[in-house]
Amino acid sequence: MNPVQRTVFRTVVVLMGMFAFAFALVPLYDAFCKVTGINGKVGDQPRSIVNEQVDTSRYVTVQFITRSGKGLPWQLEAEHRQVRVHPGQPTEVNFAFSNNSSKALTGRAVPSVSPSQASLHLRKVQCFCFEEQRLEAGERLEVPLVFQLTRDLPPDINTVTLVYTLYPVADSQSQLQAQTLPVRGGDV
Amino acid sequence: MWEVIKSVLAAFFGVQNERQRHRDFQHGKPVAFVAAGIALAVVLVVVVAAVAIVAAR
Amino acid sequence: MRKSLAWMMGAGSFLGLASSTLANGWNMPVGVTDVSREIYSLHMTIFWICVVIGIVVFGVMFYSLFRYRRSRGAKSANFHENTSVEVVWTAIPLLILVGMALPATATLKRMYDPSEAELDVMVTGQQWRWHYEYLGEDVSFTSSLSTPRSQVNGEEEKDENYLLDVDEPLVLPVGRKVRFLMTSDDVIHSWWVPDLAVKQDSIPGFVNENWVRIEEPGIYRGQCAELCGKDHAFMPIVVRAVEADEFDTWLAERQEAAAAEASGVDREWGMDELMERGEQVYGSICATCHQPDGSGAEPTFPALAGNEALLNDLDRHIDVVLNGVSGTPMAAYRGNLNPVELAAVITYERNAWGNESGDAVQPSEIQALLE
Amino acid sequence: MASNLPPKPTLEHSTAASGGLAHEHHERPRGIWRWLLTTNHKEIGTLYLVFSLVMFFIGGIFALVVRAELFQPGLQLVQPEFFNQMTTMHGLIMVFGAVMPSFVGLANWMVPLQVGAPDMALPRLNNFSFWLLPVAFTLLLSTLLMPGGGPDFGWTFYAPLSTTYAPPSTTFFILSLHMAGISSILGAINIIATILNLRAPGMRLMDMPLFVWTWLITAFLLIAVMPILAGVITMMLMDINFGTSFFNAAGGGDPVLFQHLFWFFGHPEVYIMILPAFGIVSAIIPTFARKPLFGYASMVYATASIAILSFLVWAHHMFVVGLPLVAELFFMFTTMLIAIPTGVKVFNWIATLFRGSITFETAMLFALSFVVLFTIGGFSGLMLAIAPADFQYHDTYFVVAHFHYVLVPGAIFAVMAGVYYWLPKWTGHYPDERLGRWHFWMSVIGVNLTFFPMHFSGLAGMPRRIPDYALQFADFNMVSSVGAFMFGVSQLLFVWGVIKCVRGGEKAPAKAWEGAEDLEWSVPSPAPLHTFETPPEFTPITH
């Protein structure tokens, strides 16, 4: 290899590396968000309850907001608008999905947490947001959300808001995604 | 090694004198400079991140 | 350290006040919250630091250009290096920057104060209007541009608040901490009111938050700050800040009105009242895209007048209005409008502009679809 | 960054490049084929420069449509849909079609001349990377005629406005951007290969003129970030056409991720558009001050340090997107740090002027106004770096004022300065000084009339990218629009000046400027098609 070829070879290697890096950034960013709580992202895997001393000295208000996205004729409702819990205390709240249309449809509730730092201190044990839901025409489905706020929740956070936005899932889409994007989590 | 780090530090600071530079380019191996440059960039990130974390408390 | 900080901020706000009286409408508004005032003085401090640096640097430059021009007989020297000078002019900016970073960090930390708020407002951006929901208060409404199209097109004199007026301003109490939760139904928008120093992106699927404690009653205007499509320029924000007790009265009235409307769901509505209500809802929600005369703007916004596909299929019409169409600007209105408004606007669309379906959709029918 | 490589033996000097040259000496195609098939760095450089000038005018016309609509409140000339296409196309064309190719054009012409190489290291690749550009931009411009119109989501094309809600032509937009990106990458590879391998014997890296140095670092930046852009637009393409959800919240994606990826490319891109300008100005100021550049080594190190820092500041474009406090602080601090090496550069230029023997040819006038106006853009950049204040500045005309100050009287003035400076070398004639001065003063006045009032309208609360605005911004906008037309018209003087210079004028000697020292001034003016076929003797100037 003459020196020019060597230089070109090296730059091309760097180039391909950077192109791959761009795609690697997608899962890296996801992981980074979950570790640091950026964007209020919560893990999409169930976690188990940790038995820790319940901090009875303070109350935290947990609000539930459900929103309907476009193109899914469903209603999602929380049993309670908000609950007051102690950090460390496992809590169960029921949510009801109903499909008011005359077709069977698949949908997903996309979660978000505010303030975003709180997502680091939220342990979801059971959540309908971990998976897609399929509802027959006119079906109503009650599903629980079981969560626990960790004891080390920063003292200045007194309200945690959990937001769920409903989105339709096209049947073909969910499969395609699992193929092209295995990194985004096996539960898609 | 110390000389290499000193030169790279000078580069980060943006100031370097003529004599020092001549010395670098007579003796230094380029790989050493590049490695030191990358290492110091990482150090810079860590230091600024640490400052930010401390400041956010 | 603290002292010099306070001194800098003080000097900044003094210079700032001096110039704000001079330059009204040329500068950032001082605003009506703690944070906005702090940002303003930070802005002025840094502005004046830049001015001073600029005067020194450009002073030396123009002196050299004048003093050492060849037409005056200047002979060039040959120096090209001086390590100590270079170290000095690297170190001094570093110190100045540290001096800037300290107050900036302090202000930023005050902006990120998640402590308990007394009122939660959910702000949802939609192409191209804002939807506000007072969380837990059963009050929600959509706020859209009220400047008539004729003013935009120059057929009419533009009024004082041209493009900055809405049909329903967001009403907030003075002196209470308000928490905003921002999200979006379609693309990214950004909710910005300069006087409150709140600018926050509203992002589909995610929730952002921001806090404000307004100190003076008044009307504060702002605009969407993130390009969000064709009518990005036409989705203003108006905040009406009122005294706390006035706010409570207002909120109670709105709750009563909402309750009254809710109780009206069960009764049979006549065609005329549905049409009247529907026209009002259509004007504030639908007309920006589908046009006041229902002619739409193809291909993105289908015409509603004479739309056979829609007129022949009532269920489809209801479905589109309630649930939106994914991938288009058509939002799902099931959460934004109440059953009466939904029934009325659908009825209106089916019977206005020469559409003659004769369907009168009853609020109770809609209610059944929302449970 | 391989900024400290020692001198390479340059034995292969003549062998490496002769492959592309050997057959050229005999029969040269004529007419259009000459330009289509040329592998000569000077001809390709000319092609790049002419192309970027054409793009500059097309992008400029789009800008004038925008400014004409904004001349007064209300919608007069265009509808919002078309307005958005104009702002988007203006940005895309100016960034990817005008500024970047003009720098590549200057590099093609001057890098081989300044390092004493006979041509670029890969002449045929050079031809290919140029001819990708006209194809790419013809495709991009043709989207305006497609149903649903061209791209209308801003040059930053934030998802989901550019994916789920984009016009059907977006796939073609992505394709054209891919081509422009490949062109830049190939250009960068060529420049790196030339600089590292084809320098005149005896020329070490630290002897290279600053224009070569800044281009070397720029080329590394291009190699590092253009693939990221390619990755982002590929993801967009997949989201639009193959049902993935990289940026779509409905499928578990994240619209904010788009912005992180885009700005990880976008911020180094900003420096790609300014570093070569630093190099040009660093060549011109010492020439007309008749004094060596002050702090040559510092200039090189400052450039390298700006390049490294440019990878650590991207999220300062995203302060209002909802970042956690720590991230806001981190990006605020790193952004402020960039002010230091940038300041060092400005101080070095001024120290070069100090105790010089200064004359004011057109090239010098542009270079000096670059220093002043770029610094003003730097000041507003510093203000924007302050995160809390950015909550008020973000996405307003203050930002528009800032980046136009660094790009128009920054990058574009530097290119014009470079053109006036090297025209005698290219054409053998001096440019008409009187015409040049008219062009300069009209441009400077026009630029400031256009962009200075934008600081005020932005601070007063005018968001960017709006086709219509509230009445309190009317006066500022009217002034801006008048200035924009003045600036636009005065560029015709530039074209006239260049044409006049090509056709004739005062003959220039090899060393056209008294204070010019670099290697390009050792070849005759105009530079013959083939130069340095035997490597020149290089004696380092003591920096």
Tokens of D69: 């609509």
Determine whether the interchain pair C101/D153 forms a contact, defined as Cβ–Cβ distance below 8 Å: no
Determine whether the interchain pair C206/A68 forms a contact, defined as Cβ–Cβ distance below 8 Å: no
Q: Rank A137-141, C46-50, C302-306 by mean pLDDT and report only the highest.
A: C46-50
Report pLDDT for D156.
93
Task: List the alpha helices (DSSP H) in D290-406.
Answer: 296-309, 325-353, 362-385, 387-393, 397-406
Range D519-523 average pLDDT: 91
Residues in chain D: 543
Q: Minimum mean pLDDT among C188-192, D35-39, D485-489: which range?
A: D35-39
What is the residue whose two structure tokens read 């390049």? D307
Report pLDDT for D361.
93
Report pLDDT for B25.
57
Q: Rank C19-33, C332-346, D438-452 by mean pLDDT and report only the highest.
A: D438-452
Longest CA–CA span in chain B (Å) reads: 47
Instruction: Say if strands A105-114 and A159-168 run parallel, antiparallel, or are unpaired.
Output: antiparallel
pLDDT per position as a tens digit, D213-257: 999 999 999 999 999 999 999 999 998 888 888 888 877 788 999
Distance CA D226, CA C227 (A): 25
Determine whether the interchain pair D304/B11 forms a contact, defined as Cβ–Cβ distance below 8 Å: yes
> Chain C residues with CB inside 8 Å of D353's CB?
61, 64-65, 68
Last residue of a domain, one of C211, C234, C261: C261
Distance CA D177, CA D450 (A): 29
> Chain A residues with CB inside 8 Å of C181's CB?
65, 114, 161, 163
Residue B23: how many other CB atoms lie within 10 Å? 12
> Chain C residues with CB inside 8 Å of A119's CB?
none
C240 and C293 share a domain?
A: no
Report pLDDT for A28.
85
> Chain D residues with CB inside 8 Å of C90's CB?
340, 343-344
What is the residue whose two structure tokens read 């609000």? A63
Range D353-361 average pLDDT: 92
Q: Cβ of D336 under 8 Å from any chain B Cβ? A: no
> Chain A residues with CB inside 8 Å of D322's CB?
39, 116
Q: Which of D4, D7, D325 sits opposite B56 (nearest CB)?
A: D325
Q: Which chain D residue has the Cα nearest residue A169?
A: D251
Task: Judge whether residue C296 has pLDDT over 90.
Answer: no
Q: Which chain D residue has the Cα nearest residue C95?
A: D340
What is the residue whose two structure tokens read 């402590």? C115
Confidence of residue A182 (pLDDT cuts 50, 70, 90): very low
In a domain, C76, yes or no: no
Report pLDDT for D24.
46
Backbone angles phi, psi at B30, to 5 degrees: -60, -40
Find the helix or strand (DSSP H, E) in which C131 lies: strand C129-134
Q: Which of D252, D326, D327 sits opposite A184 (nearest CB)?
A: D252
Report pLDDT for B20.
61
C173 and C97 share a domain?
A: no
Residues of chain D with CATH 1.20.210.10: 43-271, 274-499
Determine whether the interchain pair B14/C90 forms a contact, defined as Cβ–Cβ distance below 8 Å: yes
What's the number of domains chain C is made of? 3
pLDDT per position as a tens digit, A46-72: 676 676 777 788 888 888 888 887 778
Range C35-44 average pLDDT: 93
Q: Which of A22, A39, A188 sits opposite D254 (nearest CB)?
A: A39
What kind of fold does domain D274-499 have according to CATH? Cytochrome C Oxidase; Chain A (1.20.210)
Determine whether the interchain pair D470/C161 forms a contact, defined as Cβ–Cβ distance below 8 Å: yes
Q: Cβ of D339 under 8 Å from any chain B Cβ? A: no
Distance CA D155, CA B53 (A): 34
Task: Judge whether residue A178 has pLDDT over 50.
Answer: no
Tokens of D50: 């002419």
Task: List the alpha helices (DSSP H) in C141-200.
Answer: 149-152
Distance CA C168, CA D542 (A): 72
Helix (H, G, I), strand (E, B) or coil at D117: coil
Share of chain D above pLDDT 90, in %: 73
Q: What's the CATH code, domain D43-271? A: 1.20.210.10
Please calculate the CA angle A181-A184-A186 and round it to the nearest 5 degrees: 95
Q: Rank B42-51, C307-316, D382-391 by mean pLDDT and report only the highest.
A: D382-391
Determine whether the interchain pair C329/D468 forms a contact, defined as Cβ–Cβ distance below 8 Å: no
| Distance from the Cα of residue C203 to its chain's centroid | 13
Task: Judge whether residue D17 has pLDDT over 60.
Answer: no
Q: Which of D476, A81, A97, A120 is nearest to C135 (CA)?
A: A81
> Chain C residues with CB inside 8 Å of D355's CB?
64, 68, 74, 76-77, 79
Distance CA C35, CA C28 (A): 13
Interaxial angle between packed helices C2-22 and C83-111, expressed in degrees from 0 to 180 and rounded to the nearest 10: 80
Q: Which residues of D are catalytic?
A: 90, 119, 155, 183-184, 267, 269, 271, 282, 316-317, 342, 345, 464
Residue D84 and residue D465 in contact, taking contact as beta carbons nearer than 8 Å: yes
Task: Judge whether residue D19 has pLDDT over 50.
Answer: no
Residue C320 and residue C309 in contact, taking contact as beta carbons nearer than 8 Å: no
Residue C360 and residue C353 in contact, taking contact as beta carbons nearer than 8 Å: no
Determine whether the interchain pair A67/C324 forms a contact, defined as Cβ–Cβ distance below 8 Å: no
Q: Which residues of B touch D (CB under 8 A)?
A: 7, 10-18, 21, 24-25, 28-30, 33-34, 37, 41, 44-45, 48-49, 51-53, 55-56
Determine whether the interchain pair A40/C328 forms a contact, defined as Cβ–Cβ distance below 8 Å: no
Q: What's the CATH code, domain A40-184? A: 2.60.370.10
Longest CA–CA span in chain A (Å) reads: 74
Nearest CA to CA, how far is B54 from chain D (Å)?
9
Determine whether the interchain pair B18/D304 forms a contact, defined as Cβ–Cβ distance below 8 Å: no
Domain interval for residue C255:
119-261
What is the residue whose two structure tokens read 């919250």? C33
Q: Cβ of A186 under 8 Å from any chain D Cβ? A: no
ipTM of the complex: 0.87
Tokens of D323: 């970042």
Q: Cβ of D1 under 8 Å from any chain B Cβ? A: yes
Determine whether the interchain pair A163/C183 forms a contact, defined as Cβ–Cβ distance below 8 Å: yes
SS3 for D440-471, per residue? HHHHHHHHHHHHHHHHHHHHCCCECCCCCCCH
Q: Based on the number of CB atoms within 10 Å of its own CB, is D27 exposed (0-12), middle (13-18) or buried (19 or more)?
A: exposed
C88 and C137 share a domain?
A: no
Tokens of C275: 């049409």
Domain boundaries, chain B: 2-56
Residue D525 and residue D508 in contact, taking contact as beta carbons nearer than 8 Å: yes
Residue A173 and residue A111 in contact, taking contact as beta carbons nearer than 8 Å: no
Determine whether the interchain pair D301/B16 forms a contact, defined as Cβ–Cβ distance below 8 Å: yes
Which residues have CB under 8 Å from C253's CB, separation 6+?
A: none
Chain A interface disruption, residue of D21, D241, D244, most A CBs within 10 A: D244
pLDDT per position as a tens digit, C348-366: 988 888 888 778 888 888 8
Q: Which chains share 3+ C-beta pairs under 8 angstroms with D?
A: A, B, C
Rg (CA), chain A: 21
C205 and C218 share a domain?
A: yes
Interaxial angle between packed helices B2-13 and B18-27, expressed in degrees from 0 to 180 and rounded to the nearest 10: 130
